[in-house]
Structure 1
Amino acid sequence: MPVATARPIALRAAERERLKKMAYGHKTEYRLRTRAQVVLHAARGRSNARIARETGLHLDTVRCWPGRFAEHGLGGLGDRERSGRPPSFTALQTAQVKALACQLPAESGTPLSRWSAPEPAREVVGRAIAGAISASTVRRWLTQDALKPWQYQSWIFITDPDFRARAERVLDLYARTWQGKALGADEYVISADEKTSVQARCRCHPTLAPGQARAMRVNHTYGRGGALAYLAAYDVHRAKVSGRTEPRTGIDPFMNLVAQIMTQEPYASAKRVFWVVDNGSSHRGKKAADRLTSAFPNAVMVHTPVHASWLNQVEIYFSVVQRKVVSPNDFTDLAQVRDRLRSFEDRYNATAQPFQWKFTTSDLDDLLARLDRHTADHPEESSAHLAA
């Protein structure tokens, strides 16, 4: 018997444009692309048989989509809701598994420091919450609520009673102000610190360069060639770094770095040079500040708050050194380490731009306000901290 023609379709200009994008878009799902093509063919007056032949679809499929589009428009090209397979677990069981993952394992007597997906699955069966459950099901449920009990983050309470005042001084210097006044053209801000224990590890077999579908390969075993300390002073606003290597850290090595910087221009003749440092043993407290000023009267030491080395911009430079110079650590001896660090300084200074430091005093106030709210909501943590 003759095959019926496709249901006649009259398209508006906007609908035709949308259908063309669906039918020929590279990112359109295959099922939606074929359905849009069927509707476009039908709108051109072609028969069902011809559409089936040109699209490679079954005749019954071709008959379906023009009618669905005529009744429901573009929304009719999507899949209808299906009941699907009945759920294997109740909402209560799902909630109990998520609640279990939000507990520390030690609270339930489990000898673990943190959960992984298979462990809560075993615990669920052991507690008779469910007869059987897979680790992938547990992982999927936790992902839905963005729970990852196998991960952890470390944190620390603010212990410096002058945290805000110290942090504000550092942030003001980054914004080129000091005690409410703008810094002059002959005033500079230096961020300084030490990167300890930069090792020379001589790999027992040569490192292989990357190749086709292969990353660089570094032999796991190595011989120890010693370690040194890398001290660096970073000019915050000029993006210039000067460093030196020493056998170890300490007061004398740090003062050697200071002398190296302060005897060079433009710092030797500057009105003031502010040295932003953390509370490391080589430059801690008032004695260190007095020692610096005694050696160089135009130098001013400014300490970051305790446990706030993240306010020291030279730490960003050290992270660059770690990623681009030190790792994966394949050096024949310490001399090669020194040469590599010295050469990288020259390369860095040739192209570097100041860091886009965006943390301001307003952000500092917001941070402290959040911490205050957290302390107010969890007074037991604050009491435990004070007792410690």
Structure 2
Amino acid sequence: MNKIYLVDLTESERSRLTALIKRGTTPAYRIRNAQILLNADITADDGGPPKTDAAIASYLHCHAKTVSNVRKRFVEQGLEGALGRKPRDTPPTPPIFDGEKEARLITLACSTPPAGRSRWTLQLLADTLIELRIVEGVSASTVCRVLKKNELRPHLCQSWVIPPEENGEFVARMEDLIDLYQRPSNPKVPVICMDEQPLQLIKEVRLPLSMAPNRPVRYDYEYQRNGTANAFLFTEPLNGWRRVSIRERKTRRDWATEIRTLLVEDYPEAERVILVCDNLNIHTQGALYEAFPPEEAAALRKRLEIHPTPKHGSWLNIAEIELSAFTRQCLNRRIGDLETLRVETKHWETNRNVRQKEVEWQFTTAEARVKLKRLYPQIKMK
């Protein structure tokens, strides 16, 4: 079939198209259209027969209809019309969400989910938008794009320690601990943080299958509960030291025994030890008198200065950071007996102490008074 629209380029048009192809900032569609015109030029002297639309399309990796359309636009609209995009036959589809509808979606995602549902899902949000006639139709993926743009994730729920607002006792203890963490290292008066964690001893009933190519380690879903234990963790953040003790129980006597080990064995040369711990009822100096004779308890008490964290303020205890690392690095598996747990814990403690992993506390009182302003009581002047 003879071509209806023939491309006959002038010398200046050919030079312009050649220069356009070599330019690095030209849009890809203009480069493609320029290459189509140069290859379809009937006056081009390349020593061979004229190229067909199919041959040009195969060479440029496009559709033959695209080549035909570019030739047609060149004849009807000139060079600039051929280099541009094909005009739309219909106006572009308006976006589903304008500013008002997007705001209503955000409000819905931040609200309480309907009765019988624990959380909002993307499909539930899409269905609710249609039911409320906010939009005529929308897919879950479109809802996802809007929420992602606004950094909202209604499908997630996170457990958090929420401090009380306008609470003088909370901010007093918070600032006390922040001031402690700003002190330089002092071997005579070290600052020690302690925390504890209950543990379950989980025993395997069947041997796990070892890892193989394209297959991870496999554990049987069945297990045997083999009792409980408790980990007492002490750490001196400025010197990169920590000690983890595994005990069968968590009683006042157990805590008092750990405190004696801290004062007598870990820091025998210290005049006084500042201890940061939470408000658990066993963390009192009275526990020393319940575990030891009065003379020994009094000697320990005089060297111990307790600074408790505020209620709902456990994040102020640096020992929680160490306890989190201990849980992830050592306890994230099944350990079936107390002796194995103690051996594995000792290996973790030794390795971490050799590396002297420190915690650099950088949160200051000045920052707390700005970022946590809602926690401070509002003084009303008379």
- Please give the TM-score of this superposition, normalised by the length of structure 1: 0.70
Confirm or deny that 1:330 pairs with 2:334: yes
SS in 1 for 2:268: coil
Q: Which has the larger radius of gyration?
A: 2
Shift of 1:200: 1.6
Distance, in Å, in 1 between the alignment partners of 2:102 and 2:237 is 52
Shift of 1:218: 2.4
- Give the equivalent residue in structure 2 for 1:251: 252
- Give the equivalent residue in structure 2 for 1:26: none
Most deviating of 248-257 and 123-132: 123-132
- Give the equivalent residue in structure 2 for 1:167: 174
Relative to structure 1, is the Cα distance of residues 316 and 94 closer, same or farther in structure 2, using a 3 angstrom cutoff? closer
Deviation string for 1:192-212 (max 9, x for gaps)?
12111x112112332334433
SS in 1 for 2:224: strand
Question: Pick from 113, 125, 130: which aligns with 1:105?
Answer: 113
Verify the 8 A CA contact 2:166 2:375 in the aligned structure 1.
no
Verify the 8 A CA contact 1:262 1:296 in the aligned structure 2.
no
SS in 2 for 1:193: strand
- Give the equivalent residue in structure 1 for 2:122: 117
SS in 1 for 2:311: coil
Higher relative contact order (CA 8 A, sep 6+): 2
List gaps (5 residues or longer) in structure 1: 20-31, 178-182, 377-388
Relative to structure 1, is the Cα distance of residues 355 and 10 closer, same or farther in structure 2, using a 3 angstrom cutoff? farther
How many pairs are equivalent?
344
Shift of 1:59: 7.8
What code does the residue aligned with 2:192 have? I
Relative to structure 1, is the Cα distance of residues 149 and 162 closer, same or farther in structure 2, using a 3 angstrom cutoff? same
- Please give the TM-score of this superposition, normalised by the length of structure 2: 0.71
Deviation string for 1:327-346 (max 9, x for gaps)?
1x322322211211122111
- Give the equivalent residue in structure 1 for 2:368: 364
Verify the 8 A CA contact 2:29 2:85 in the aligned structure 1.
no
SS in 1 for 2:111: coil
- Give the equivalent residue in structure 2 for 1:84: 92
Confirm or deny that 1:270 pairs with 2:275: no
Distance, in Å, in 2 between the alignment partners of 1:80 and 1:262 is 83
Confirm or deny that 1:220 pairs with 2:228: no
Confirm or deny that 1:308 pairs with 2:313: yes
SS in 1 for 2:372: helix
Distance, in Å, in 2 between the alignment partners of 1:77 and 1:325 is 63
Shift of 1:34: 8.0
What code does the residue aligned with 1:283 have? H
Distance, in Å, in 1 between the alignment partners of 2:215 and 2:91 is 47
What percent of counterpart residues are identical?
25
Deviation string for 1:188-241 (max 9, x for gaps)?
111112111x11211233233443333332222101111100101101111111
Relative to structure 1, is the Cα distance of residues 339 and 184 closer, same or farther in structure 2, using a 3 angstrom cutoff? closer
Q: RMSD between aligned alpha carbons?
A: 4.4
What code does the residue aligned with 2:190 have? Y
- Give the equivalent residue in structure 1 for 2:189: 187
SS in 2 for 1:306: coil
SS in 1 for 2:371: helix
- Give the equivalent residue in structure 2 for 1:282: 282
